[in-house]
A = this chain, B = another copy of it.
């Protein structure tokens, strides 16, 4: 009998995703683990308990976390969940640590080895473990579906006997994984798509998807690409120039989708109230950064609101969770791919090597301490 893996039902009622799929359970069992899945853990992602059982898991209850060597989760464990874990438990989750330093300290106090999956390096061998990419990809798709559902016209050009319906103009701000998928989806639906990003490299990617790139392309822009592929924050001067260009462009758009995030910092404000006010009534803005403070002034987390001039601003929370069945399958694969790198296949146990590159990048707490350099200054004691 190998070590025990526990997959809880997420305690947050707004979280429909689950951290294991029948496919990953089967593989974990194949590696020699004993897997317990909490009853109904996959229900909101359309995975039935019977599917897990068929893959070799047993169905358990929340308290079974106490016997687990490894817990696979979507969201960071709450303090009450931590109380049920034994010290030394390995926890893989989207830890969302910035701004939640006291929760990081709580995980250290509980003695768990908490891995922050968002910190996975964007290197080739870790691509299959990258939860930000897998979830952002689906968020980008869903943002376009949500925009189309709110929009009061059709997206594609339609040539009919009664006249032509013009194609919608869609503008995607931020051409990372979410933005690129939003561009691709809007193009699929026949929209005229433009996009912007602070990284010059994005220009070619945007063009390859059939969209036009919109940016102030000065020296700072050209210098802004960072090694990790993330956007760094631009200067105030650049932001002002870019905002002027965007303001002019945005006033002509039917749909705007914003996807700009800066790790560890509030989302940059890309669309001001004045820009919203310049848009046509009936236009739709989807703010995918609303959980991080929002790219759009006036966006309200969890709500669809209308501006005074009739622009709808969509601020759905947990957008990947809106396509939970797809999101869970990919998220589960990400966690499996990472966990597998830590498995000693002879001993059928997880061996945590703090010096290993991926472990070093993602391990937040270990042995009662906060071990990640980004949180070195956080006090563990209450």
A306 CA / B136 CA spacing, docked (Å): 28
Question: CB-nearest residue of chain B relative to A335?
Answer: B162
A151 CA / B329 CA spacing, docked (Å): 15
| Chain A count of residues within 8 A CB distance of the other chain | 49
A323→B162 contact, CB < 8 A: no
CB-CB under 8 A for A281 and B134, given A145-B149, A156-B141, A323-B154: no
B330→A152 contact, CB < 8 A: no
B46→A188 contact, CB < 8 A: no
B128→A162 contact, CB < 8 A: yes
Whole-angstrom distance from the CB of A328 to the nearest CB of chain B?
A: 9
Question: CB-nearest residue of chain B relative to A334?
Answer: B162
Sampled A-B contacts (12; CB under 8 Å): A46-B280, A128-B163, A133-B162, A134-B161, A137-B158, A149-B149, A152-B326, A153-B323, A154-B326, A156-B185, A160-B330, A165-B326
Whole-angstrom distance from the CB of A10 to the nearest CB of chain B?
A: 15
Report which of B130, B152, B189, B322 forms a contact with A323, defined as CB distance below 8 A: B152
B130→A154 contact, CB < 8 A: no
Instruction: Report B-chain residues with C-beta under 8 Å of the C-beta of A324.
Output: 152
B152→A138 contact, CB < 8 A: no
A333→B162 contact, CB < 8 A: yes
A324 CA / B48 CA spacing, docked (Å): 40
Instruction: Report B-chain residues with C-beta under 8 Å of the C-beta of A326.
Output: 152-154, 158, 165
Instruction: Give a binary string over A100-140; 1 marks a CB under 8 Å from any B CB, 0 the rest.
Output: 00000000000000000000000000011110011001100
Whole-angstrom distance from the CB of A178 to the nearest CB of chain B?
A: 13
A161→B128 contact, CB < 8 A: yes
B130→A161 contact, CB < 8 A: yes
